[in-house]
Amino acid sequence: MSILVYTENWEGKFKKLSFELVSYANEMAKQLGTEVTAVSIGNVDDTELKSLGLYGASKVINVNDAQLEKLSNAPYARVIADAATKENAQVIVFAHNNAGKAIAPRVSVKLKAGLVSGASEAPSCYDPFTVKKKAFTGKAFANIVVKSAVKIVTLSQNSFGLVEDAKDAFIEAYAPTLDAAEFKTEVKDTNKITGKVLLNDAEIVVSAGRGLKGPENWGPIEEMAELLGAATACSRPVSDEEWRPHSEHVGQTGKIIAPNLYFAFGISGAIQHLGGVSSSKVIVAVNTDKDAPIFEAADYGIIGDAQKILPQLVEAIKSAKAE
Amino acid sequence: MKILICLSNVPDTTTKVKFTGDNTAFDKAGVQWIINPWDELALTRALEMKEASAGAITCITVATVGGADVEPTMRKGLAIGADEAIRVDADPKDAFYVAAQLAAVANGYDIVMAGIEASDYNGSAVGGMLAEFLNIASVSSVSKMEIEGGAVTVTREIDGGSETVAVQTPFVAIVQKGITKEPRIPAMRGIMMARKKPLNVVPAVDAEMLTEYANYELPAPKAACKMVDAENVKELVDLLKNEAKVL
């Protein structure tokens, strides 16, 4: 019996997301009186694998096969499902990210395991197994009961946090037999956005909308983001007008993010935008319109012209940092 | 080549969300129903590819699991340009169950497309589950798709970038924003023709529901926004640092 957690790696390294998943799995393991086993697919060294132990993993299944270097949904799902069966996993945990969304549903059908996707908390009850998740694109929460013997949960990023529970993780190499016929997809080319803080991982996000009037006014946004080690984001009209790249669009049809701090400069706060940022821990809004709906969602607000406020804010942050 | 688009019938995005029955069911009273936005983008892309295929793509089918109440939404799919529609007469209460129903009607298509999630239950599951039921390949987070001489190439989003992926048919493409610029809007002619296009209803197959929505909660009302004077920006930084502790 165990809780199996799929810990994705990025060029051989884990991210905060991976440790958050292990922490989450460990919480379940403690409640169910069992252990956490992580499964890693890729070329990850032992020191990195062992670091999962800090958050409660007592075992790490290490799959390192050149054929699995790039994600291919069906073979990855098969390998993880096999590991789950081998480990007699009662619950399987994935991140609710691109990889998790690609793999978890296939594992669900393979193992006839009910799936809760985008969980926002640890299960509120283990019998029946009940998990809360967001529904209606952030407008409500739903409590889902999973009725099958094996359960799968994909966890929303930055919803559980890191909890240390140091264990000496035992690394077990696992070499599944793979058939070339299982691989119907092939990665031909990779296009990486380098040098910037990734929007999904950023703890602080500095975002702006049409209130900034034009792409030439984005300098202070980028400066503020650089100062805070933050990612930059934008509203949909800004990406539609191509003032900013599409990858920066946050909202219902763009990226859904959950940073600790979200700054919204010159964004009115349309419901579709809020759907993408409502899970932020703290929202700060700056807008000239006192009736802008963003102020209903924000924790702190300034009524004023973002272009005037931004340079002052940058100065104030610099001073605060110097203290 | 035949393409199947899985359509979900969802409430319009501006719907005020309410629940009935002591918060156990979504209140459908007064709701306007639409095609799930990502499914609509998938359908639009399929039509673009069909038009550019010089006859290689012969048929676009839309399929939905639901009662008769979903038919108006399916007719919109036909009005946009799909050639035919299949409704599986079943209550779409669980992703595994819905995928099992779609699997029964999805054989024989070269490409199956589904939106990455539906805007009501945000399950992000049916597309991937369907591929596994059909025992075919799937690619998720697809933001571009091209077909050239029968060979399919997609762009899929990954953390911090994207990958170009060659994929063998038959497969399921689970699509997101970027797959096409805007959804197609049905023209008057399309709407009239939609009435004559076939909408076949098939019974549900025996399948299990592995999950159940026990109840719902509305978010706790947010505390009022703390306003800071525009002349005193420093105060905001102090609050973020010392009160909210996020700086």
Residue A218 has pLDDT above 70, yes or no: yes
User: What residues 15-44 of chain A have any CB closer than 8 A to a CB of chain B?
Assistant: none
Residue A188 lies in a domain: no
Residue A194 lies in a domain: no
Facing B129 at nearest CB: one of A109, A132, A320:
A109
The reply to whether B23 touches chain A by the CB within 8 Å rule is: no
SS3 B191: helix
**Chain A residues in contact with B159 (beta carbon < 8 A):** 10, 97-98, 198, 200-201
CATH number at residue A149: 3.40.50.620
pLDDT tens for chain B, 247 residues long, are 999 999 999 999 888 899 998 999 999 999 999 999 999 999 999 999 999 999 999 999 999 999 999 999 999 999 999 999 999 999 999 999 999 999 999 999 999 999 999 999 999 999 999 999 999 999 999 999 999 988 999 999 998 889 999 999 999 999 998 899 889 999 999 999 999 999 999 999 999 999 999 999 998 888 999 999 999 999 999 999 999 999 9
Distance from CA of B195 to the nearest CA of A (A): 30
DSSP 8-state secondary structure symbol assigned to residue A13: B
Same domain, A269 and A122: no
How many separate domains does chain A show?
2
Lowest mean pLDDT among A26-30, A251-255, B130-134: A251-255
Q: Which residue of A has its CA nearest to B124?
A: A101
Give the start-end residues of each E strand in chain A.
Answer: 2-6, 35-41, 57-63, 89-95, 114-119, 125-126, 129-135, 140-146, 151-155, 170-173, 185-192, 204-208, 231-234, 261-265, 282-287, 300-303
Q: What is the pLDDT of residues A80-130, one digit of tens each?
A: 999 999 999 999 999 999 999 999 999 999 999 999 999 999 999 999 999
**Region B2-218: CATH code:** 3.40.50.620
> Contact B165/A134, CB-based, under 8 Å?
no
CATH number at residue A316: 3.40.50.1220
Tell me if B182 sits within 8 A of A240, measured CB to CB.
no
| Residue A112: domain span | 2-182
Residue A75 lies in a domain: yes
Q: Where are the domains of chain B?
A: 2-218
> Contact B210/A147, CB-based, under 8 Å?
yes
Average pLDDT, chain A: 95
**Chain B residues in contact with A106 (beta carbon < 8 A):** 128-129, 131-132, 138
Same domain, A49 and A146: yes
Same domain, A150 and A213: no
Q: Which of B8, B36, B217, B246 to mutate to test the interface with A (most CBs of A within 10 A)?
A: B246
Residue A31 lies in a domain: yes
Length of chain A: 323
Domain end (from A182, A215, A240) = A182
ipTM of the complex: 0.96
Half-sphere exposure in the Cβ direction for B78 (13 Å, CA): 23
